[in-house]
Every structure is written in structure tokens, then in C-alpha cells.
Amino acid sequence: MAYTIKTTQEGLIYIKASVIIRIGKPNSVDGAKVLGFPLIINAEQINFLSFDTESKVTYFMSNGFQISMKVLYEEAEEALRMAKSNIEKIIKQ
């Protein structure tokens, strides 16, 4: 089944590569590349959800990385809440 964002019972968030704008640390030379594969994030590693300096929805990670996405804030918030609750759900198709 196609998805844009989905969560698993293990507390993971899968994000389709086409909605990711940027992955990187602030003040770094360049961001990481996703190369068409889904990005898998452990919800326990997300410190908070907010907007970056360009007003994009962004997960701020405990290791310093920022993951900016082309999704609504409510969808990213629901994905984070569902993953932390260990509920499997497709948030956006």
C-alpha cells in the first residue's frame, strides 16, 4: 500500500523520500541524501516538532539533525503521537 507517512508498533516513523525537503544539522555544509528510499525515524529520538527558519515542518532530533518535510503540521504531529504510543497507522496516503 502506498503511503506518505506511516507509523509502526515498534515506535518507528516511515517518511516517503519525496516529501523530505532537507536532512541536516544547522551550520553544516550540506545535508544528507535520502536517494528515493523511505526515511525511518525512531520516535524516541525526536526532541520536538516545530518549524525551521524557512517555515517548514521539522522534526528536531536528539543527535542535532533536523528533518524538514512537505507535510502539514497536524500530520507530522499525529505521526509522532502514534509512534510514541506504539500504534500502527498510515497517516497520509
Tell whether 16 is covered by a domain.
Answer: yes
pTM confidence score = 0.86
Structural domains in the chain (count) = 1
The DSSP symbol for 55 reads: S
Q: Which domain holds residue 30?
A: 5-85
Tell whether 49 is covered by a domain.
Answer: yes
At 60, list the grid cell: 528536531
pLDDT (tens digit per residue) in 33-85: 667 788 899 999 999 999 988 899 999 999 889 999 999 999 999 999 999 99
Tell whether 26 is covered by a domain.
Answer: yes
Asked if 43 and 80 touch (Cβ cutoff 8 Å), the reply is yes
d(CA 90, CA 93): 7
Q: Is the dihedral of CA 48, 84, 32, 36 positive or negative?
A: negative
Tell whether 92 is covered by a domain.
Answer: no
Tell whether 90 is covered by a domain.
Answer: no
